[in-house]
Chains A and B, each alone.
Chain A
């Protein structure tokens, strides 16, 4: 993208080109970041470079849950105190962090690494679906929690997995959907409000 000009040294132009490849980074942001890195103390720049190299060399995918990990199997899969009969299926590794933060789930996880998006050409074959089926063959699992995002792609993925897993005889559940904490009823859309009404619960005294 950036040809080396008299105004830009070749290594700097190369750095700008590499930063420009990152998601959400435009040409101007790439230039700003490159000049920021240039002014950074050499130690900090080296630490950043080694962190990038290390993450590529040492971090891998857990062969069981497909989460990112530096030891295979990952710590969650090795934890003997977790309930192995429940698997929570999520789209991305970051979703596991969100669920673990609640400290109210002690089952296992499975990361699909994406969601079905037919319009973008992303189908089940691009996700870690066959690995999930492999885990179910042991017969140990009795419940699958579909925790894909409550958007169109997430719903499509959940519907596809339901269709695929139902013949296997495991209980399939979906995270509850409805009004978010702090939200206003008057701004709720039809779909959310309908599901909130369907999922209403008796108030316990």
Chain B
């Protein structure tokens, strides 16, 4: 049976780019159709009735009409605008980071109910959470899991032996933690402390509430972030653009704090 000429779907806008005089191409993420590009006509005009509903990081109900190349937005209504994300640069930068990861990991036109739910829940959490970075780490770990790139944290990903309760290494190219014997011959393997391993396991096995109950700060938080980021970069074979902006905000925030 052919797809209907007009159809409705819930979606989160991931990113947008200009097209022609007043149109935009929106990259949207939907539960039933996965990631797809759609055309929104006339939304750059100030009189557009749709532009406010079609901003990135907005969850909306879209009515789409089938088009030759891209489907066209025929109607839209905001379901959730995650307002606190838009009013705080730290929250916004993390929200955009999550959107970029979805954009990079999600295949086009493939249904993705669990990952869609994870993404929307993450945006809600980023709009409210106190520890934004820990929320992102939980999202990263779950996203890797759901996309089939679950890091190996129980046994050495080099030789398969059981990991001892000591400092080991994390090697993205091997797919996870490696024992100190295997670490020597693997490029890009970095030291993973025992506490770092415990935090990674908590993120992998625990619920969001479990993960947020433990306060992860300072060098330990940076260690976990570095290893997860290197794993993601290794899988994607490219950097995550929004990470550089988050890093810049952190640097400038620390400088302002010192000056104050």
Q: Who on chain A is nearest to B92 by CB?
A: A156
Whether B86 pairs with A191 at a CB distance below 8 angstroms is yes
Q: Who on chain A is nearest to B15 by CB?
A: A119
A-B contact pairs, 5 of them (CB 8 A): A118-B96, A118-B245, A120-B241, A159-B88, A181-B47
Q: Who on chain B is nearest to A189 by CB?
A: B52
B contact residues around A183 at 8 Å (CB)? 47, 49
Chain A interface extent, by class: 20 to 34
Whether B49 pairs with A24 at a CB distance below 8 angstroms is no
Whether B97 pairs with A167 at a CB distance below 8 angstroms is no
Residues of B within 8 A of A (CB): 14-15, 19-20, 46-47, 49, 51-53, 55-58, 78, 81, 83, 86, 88-89, 92-93, 96-97, 99-100, 103, 241-242, 244-246, 248, 252, 256, 259
Q: A188-B52, A189-B81 are in contact. Are A121 and B241 (CB under 8 A)?
A: yes
A contact residues around B241 at 8 Å (CB)? 118-121
- One digit per residue, 1 when the CB lies within 8 angstroms of any chain B CB and 0 when it does not, for chain A 183-200 equals 110011111101000000
Task: List which A150-197 residues lie within 8 A (CB) of chain B.
Answer: 151-152, 155-156, 159-160, 163-164, 167, 180-184, 187-192, 194
B contact residues around A180 at 8 Å (CB)? 46-47
Known: A118-B241, A188-B52. 16 other contacts (CB 8 A): A118-B100, A118-B242, A118-B244, A118-B246, A119-B103, A120-B241, A155-B86, A155-B92, A156-B89, A164-B252, A180-B46, A191-B52, A191-B55, A191-B78, A191-B86, A192-B52
Whether A123 pairs with B56 at a CB distance below 8 angstroms is no
With the chains together, A163 CA to B257 CA distance in Å? Answer: 12
A124 at the interface (CB under 8 A from B): yes
B contact residues around A121 at 8 Å (CB)? 241, 244
Q: Who on chain B is nearest to A164 by CB?
A: B252
In the assembled complex, the CB of B257 is this many whole angstroms from the nearest CB of chain A, namely 11
Q: A155-B86, A194-B83 are in contact. Are A118 and B52 (CB under 8 A)?
A: no
Whether B20 pairs with A24 at a CB distance below 8 angstroms is yes
Q: Which of A24, A167, A189 contacts B256 (CB 8 A)?
A: A167
Whether A119 pairs with B20 at a CB distance below 8 angstroms is no
Whether A159 pairs with B92 at a CB distance below 8 angstroms is yes
In the assembled complex, the CB of A160 is this many whole angstroms from the nearest CB of chain B, namely 6
A34 at the interface (CB under 8 A from B): no
Q: A116-B245, A119-B96, A119-B241 are in contact. Are A189 and B78 (CB under 8 A)?
A: yes
Q: Who on chain B is nearest to A162 by CB?
A: B89
B contact residues around A164 at 8 Å (CB)? 252
Q: Which of B15, B83, B244 contacts A191 (CB 8 A)?
A: B83
Whether B53 pairs with A152 at a CB distance below 8 angstroms is no
With the chains together, A155 CA to B103 CA distance in Å? Answer: 21
With the chains together, A155 CA to B55 CA distance in Å? Answer: 11
In the assembled complex, the CB of B61 is this many whole angstroms from the nearest CB of chain A, namely 12
A-B complex: 4 closest residue pairs judged by Cβ atoms: A189-B52, A118-B245, A187-B49, A121-B241
In the assembled complex, the CB of A45 is this many whole angstroms from the nearest CB of chain B, namely 25
B contact residues around A155 at 8 Å (CB)? 86, 92
A contact residues around B57 at 8 Å (CB)? 152
- One digit per residue, 1 when the CB lies within 8 angstroms of any chain B CB and 0 when it does not, for chain A 100-120 equals 000000000000000010111
In the assembled complex, the CB of B239 is this many whole angstroms from the nearest CB of chain A, namely 8
Q: Who on chain A is nearest to B89 by CB?
A: A159
Whether B242 pairs with A119 at a CB distance below 8 angstroms is yes
Whether A152 pairs with B248 at a CB distance below 8 angstroms is no
A contact residues around B15 at 8 Å (CB)? 119-120
Whether B56 pairs with A152 at a CB distance below 8 angstroms is yes
